[in-house]
């Protein structure tokens, strides 16, 4: 009955249109009153939820990504990717995916990736003779890499949802191989579709121009070197690398690229503050929600429930994957991480699954949810940028879903895909 009061209140308020963060806060208060604990205790947990030093990584990474996204980085990455793979049949689709891989190392956001890369690539692909729907499908599914490749904002949220006991640096480097595996699967699919449909080849870029494009792009890609190099070498923590990356992104955008006007900078900061404020409110209320769940022993009850179904780790992981895929279709990614992690992490740990490994499983599942109707945020942005409807995308995107599901299966059942790099660096 305790869980029914807590979760029932949450879903009722979601159904009547209350924002997710406030629905969690109201549900936490309702649950606290039901089990007769002081409301002051819940409010203290809400306050404590955002009183963590590691949370500073989120605003810094968001600001760095926003500066580079609006400062011409996306256009330069597309040009650099075109140098590398644009001459192959179907090359522009590969350029799209490769540019998403590189931009994901800067933005850490699937939505930012889609809006930045899609604005450049979708019109370019259509002009070259690719169907617009195909261009949109490539763009939105390629942007899921940003969920995995560091610096992923959602990896930071997962670490916090797990109680801060999981290293953000370990989660960052754990996402490298799954992200590259996803890119490789989408590239293979695009090559197959391009050869089957005889999509056009691009032209090779002259050497002098190619070197110029590479030089311009490498300034921005230095952000990735700062983040990963600093963390792996032990020079920076994840939070410190975010701050340094922010300074570097500002320097490159305003003094090297000089595409962004100083007078527009305050608008960019304002938009970043609004984004960060929404995330922080969500984290704060989720902390209170998780506190009440713990007092109700909801995670322990869920663990006991799964144990009654099966004692086979692989069966349990399959059931969790199916559940997360379904939930990802119905709710945005950050709230699901904050709600599901305290419930499901004790279950998988009971079966011997490494928390870092489970983080990658969860991120891929919910990343797929971002490009799945009816509430996929990345899908909405891709449709808006590409000027197509969700119905048009839904009819043609299923091969891309299959490619992502294959990657999900490999990451789920081959732990080394996620854990090899963290283990190698002793993280």
Nearest to 152 by CA among 349, 413, 334: 334
Whole-number Å distance between alpha carbons of 281 and 278: 5
Determine how many CB atoms are found less than 10 A away from the CB of residue 386: 25
Whole-number Å distance between alpha carbons of 228 and 106: 11
Measured CA to CA in angstroms, residue 170 lies from 232, 302, 360 at distances of 9, 27, 11
Q: What pLDDT is attached to residue 417?
A: 93
Positions of the chain with pLDDT lower than 50, given as ranges: none
Contact criterion met (CB below 8 Å) for 243 and 56: yes
Whole-number Å distance between alpha carbons of 260 and 218: 18
DSSP annotation of 425 reads: T
Q: For helices 57-70 and 265-295, give the axis angle rounded to 10 degrees.
A: 150
Q: Which residues are registered as beta bridge partners of 279?
A: none
Q: What pLDDT is attached to residue 185?
A: 95
Q: What pLDDT is attached to residue 426?
A: 74
- For residue 151, whether the previous peptide bond is cis, meaning omega lies within 30 degrees of 0, is yes
Contact criterion met (CB below 8 Å) for 408 and 368: yes
pLDDT tens digit string along 159-210?
988 887 888 889 999 999 999 999 999 999 999 999 898 888 777 788 888 8
Question: Residue 162 corresponds to which tokens in the numbers above?
Answer: 């797990």
Q: What pLDDT is attached to residue 368?
A: 92
- Look-up of token digits 């799209």: 96
Q: What pLDDT is attached to residue 165?
A: 82
Nearest to 217 by CA among 79, 323, 313: 79
Phi/psi at 261 (nearest 5 deg)?
Answer: -85, 140
Nearest to 67 by CA among 111, 114, 100, 116: 116
Measured CA to CA in angstroms, residue 290 lies from 54, 302, 343, 368 at distances of 19, 14, 9, 25
């Amino acid at each position: 009955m305790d869980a029914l009061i807590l979760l029932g209140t949450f879903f009722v308020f979601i159904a009547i249109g209350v924002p997710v963060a406030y629905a969690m806060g109201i549900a936490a208060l309702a649950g606290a009153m039901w089990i007769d604990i002081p409301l002051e205790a819940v409010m203290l947990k809400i306050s404590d939820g955002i009183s963590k030093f590691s949370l500073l990584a989120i605003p810094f990474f968001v600001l760095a990504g926003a500066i580079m996204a609006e400062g011409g980085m996306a256009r330069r990455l597309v040009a650099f990717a075109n140098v590398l793979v644009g001459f192959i049949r179907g090359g522009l689709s590969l350029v799209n995916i490769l540019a998403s891989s590189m931009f994901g190392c800067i933005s850490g956001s699937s939505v930012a990736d889609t809006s930045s890369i899609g604005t450049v690539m979708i019109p370019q692909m259509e002009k070259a003779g690719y169907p617009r729907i195909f261009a949109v499908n490539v763009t939105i599914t390629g942007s899921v890499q940003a969920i995995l490749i560091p610096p992923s904002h959602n990896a930071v949220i997962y670490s916090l949802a797990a109680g801060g006991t999981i290293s953000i640096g370990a989660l960052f480097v754990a996402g490298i191989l799954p992200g590259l595996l996803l890119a490789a699967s989408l590239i293979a699919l695009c090559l197959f579709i391009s050869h089957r449909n005889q999509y056009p080849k691009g032209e090779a870029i002259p050497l002098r121009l190619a070197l110029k494009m590479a030089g311009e792009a490498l300034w921005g890609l230095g952000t990735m070197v700062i983040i990963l190099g600093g963390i792996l070498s032990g020079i920076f923590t994840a939070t410190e690398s975010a701050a340094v990356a922010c300074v570097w992104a500002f320097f490159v955008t305003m003094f090297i690229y000089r595409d962004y006007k100083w007078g527009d900078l305050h608008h960019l900061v304002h938009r970043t503050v609004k984004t960060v404020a929404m995330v922080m409110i969500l984290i704060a209320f989720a902390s209170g929600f998780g506190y009440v769940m713990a007092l109700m022993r909801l995670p322990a009850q869920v663990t006991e429930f799964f144990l009654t179904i099966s004692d086979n780790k692989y069966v349990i992981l399959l059931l969790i994957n199916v559940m997360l895929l379904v939930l990802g279709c119905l709710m945005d990614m950050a709230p699901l991480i904050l709600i599901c992690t305290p419930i499901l992490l004790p279950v998988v740990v009971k079966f011997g699954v490494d928390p870092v490994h489970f983080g990658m499983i969860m991120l891929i599942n919910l990343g797929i949810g971002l490009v799945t109707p009816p509430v996929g945020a990345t899908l909405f942005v891709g449709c808006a940028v590409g000027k197509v409807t969700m119905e048009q995308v839904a009819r043609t995107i299923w091969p891309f879903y299959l490619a992502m599901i294959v990657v999900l299966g490999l990451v789920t059942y081959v732990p080394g895909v996620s854990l090899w790099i963290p283990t190698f660096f002793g993280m």
